[in-house]
Amino acid sequence: MSASRSLDGQTALITGSTSGIGLQFAKGLAESGANIVLNGLGDEAEIEKTRAELASECGVEVRYHPANMLEPDEIAYMVAFAKSEFGRLDILVCNAGIQHVEKIEDFPKEKWDAIIAINLSSAFHAIKHAMPVMKAQGRGRIVNLASVHGLISSPFKSAYVAAKHGMVGLTKTVAQEGGEFGVTCNAICPGYVKTPLVEAQIPDQAKSRGISEEEVVEKVFLADTFTKKFTDYDQLVGLLRYLVSDAGASTTGVAIPVDGGWLTH
Ligand code: NAD
């Protein structure tokens, strides 16, 4: 997706940006001129390759911080790192997330704890440390990755649905506290996007529901959409660019579906 350099000189920190949606967000913001702090798990050499390519292709500075989203202290260091590397922090995207699909009676408590920590509490910790920096700048843009599952439920996703609903609530409170300081906070709520996280769910969903993998895509993932299509990365990047722009200054505290009409049912 082509972009103007409207974010030249800004700094963007994107959690969980070594894969999937987060990586595309990092690319989208880098193409618009922002310096980037990547974060996420993965092979060290692969991450370094991604970092170097992003920097050279987009003509921006790109750093990587390995903070584990299960560890509040590491998240605090990551935010401080972004500020100290670039002298400012303009954009925080809380995107890291994991999934586990199982009936509630069989749902492992370790999975519940990890999903709440990574998909919800990590955003709290990152925002807690980013907010003072953004308030002092008199401007900031916080974008939380929720999901349609921040607004409705699906079976076998108790922890994910709880965490994403929490993310929508957190978004509203942060927007309220940041508003008069020029800090906006919004939640993006995608329908299904074909990322490693979604690909990995197909066999689990087939098992939990007793249907084939093709039926999972047709009857579970896309059944309620008007478009009968997965949401694309570009459609999410387009919304992110709007939310972080000056034109997005009055859009705050909202949870925006990008779901092919799913929630309109
Ligand atoms: P993904 O698995 O491709 O990427 C997840 C990212 O989070 C990776 O970079 C991974 O390394 C990172 N991560 C996971 N655990 C971590 C930890 N402990 N510490 C640091 N980083 C960690 O997944 P995705 O589909 O791109 O999902 C990104 C976000 O979008 C998630 O919050 C997800 O819930 C949300 N979302 C995805 C979809 C979809 O259909 N793919 C739909 C709605 C919402």
Sheet holding 11-14, edge to edge: 62-65, 35-39, 11-14, 91-94, 140-145, 183-190, 255-258
- For residues 68 and 199, membership in a common domain is answered with no
Going by alpha carbons, the residue nearest to atom 3 of ligand 1 is 20
Tokens of 189: 């709520």
The residue whose C-alpha atom lies closest to atom 33 belonging to ligand 1 is 97
Ligand 1 pocket: which of 21, 38, 205, 237 to mutate (most atoms within 8 A of CB): 21
In a domain, 1, yes or no: no
80: domain CATH number? 3.40.50.720
Predicted confidence pLDDT, tens digits, the chain (265 residues):
456 899 999 999 999 999 999 999 999 999 999 999 999 999 999 999 999 999 999 999 999 999 999 999 999 999 999 999 999 999 999 999 999 999 999 999 999 999 999 999 999 999 999 999 999 999 999 999 999 999 999 999 999 999 999 999 999 999 999 999 999 999 999 999 999 888 988 998 899 899 999 999 999 899 999 999 999 999 999 999 999 999 999 999 999 999 999 999 7
Predicted pLDDT at 93: 99
In a shared domain, residues 205 and 245 = no
SS (H, E, C) 157-213: CHHHHHHHHHHHHHHHHHHHHHHHHCEEEEEEEECCECCHHHHHHHHHHHHHHCCCH
Residues 245 and 140 occupy one common structural domain: yes
User: Does residue 54 belong to any structural domain of this protein?
Assistant: yes
- Give yes or no: residues 209 and 93 share one domain: no
Q: Is ligand 1 within 6 A of the CB of residue 95?
A: yes
Substitution candidate for ligand 1 out of 41, 99, 154 with most atoms within 8 A of CB:
41
H or E element that contains 37 = strand 35-39
Residues 146 and 197 in one domain: no
DSSP code, position 230: P
Identify whether residues 29 and 141 lie together within a single domain.
yes
77: number of Cβ within 10 Å:
15
* Catalytic residue chosen out of the listed positions 64, 77, 160, 192: 160
Instruction: Give me 238's structure tokens.
Output: 């387009």
Whether residues 137 and 225 fall in one domain = no
Residue 209: give the domain boundaries.
Answer: 193-230
- The answer for residues whose C-beta is within 8 angstroms of residue 256's C-beta and 6 or more apart is 186, 187, 188, 189, 239
d(C-alpha 120, C-alpha 98), whole Å? 11
**Calculated CA dihedral for residues 98, 235, 151, 178, nearest 10 degrees:** 90
Which protein residue's CA is at the shortest distance from atom 41 of ligand 1?
193
Residues 208 and 108 in one domain: no
Question: Is 248 found in the same domain as 121?
Answer: yes
Whether residues 150 and 207 fall in one domain: no
Give CA–CA dist 15/39, Å, rounded. Answer: 5
Give the closest residue to 92 by CA, choosing from 59, 123, 56, 55. Answer: 123
DSSP symbol at 120 = I
CA–centroid distance, residue 16 to ligand 1 (Å): 6
Specify whether 77 is catalytic.
no
- The answer to whether residue 222 sits within a structural domain is yes
Cβ(114) to ligand 1 under 6 A?
no
Please indicate, yes or no, if residue 5 is contained in any of the structural domains.
no
CA quadruple 96, 100, 101, 107: dihedral positive or negative? negative
Domain count, the chain: 2
Is 263 among the domain residues? no
Predicted confidence at residue 3, as pLDDT, reads: 63
**Rounded to whole angstroms, how far apart are CA atoms 255 and 240?**
12
Query: Is residue 89 located within the same domain as residue 207?
Result: no
Looking at the fold, whether 38 and 166 belong to one and the same domain comes out as: yes
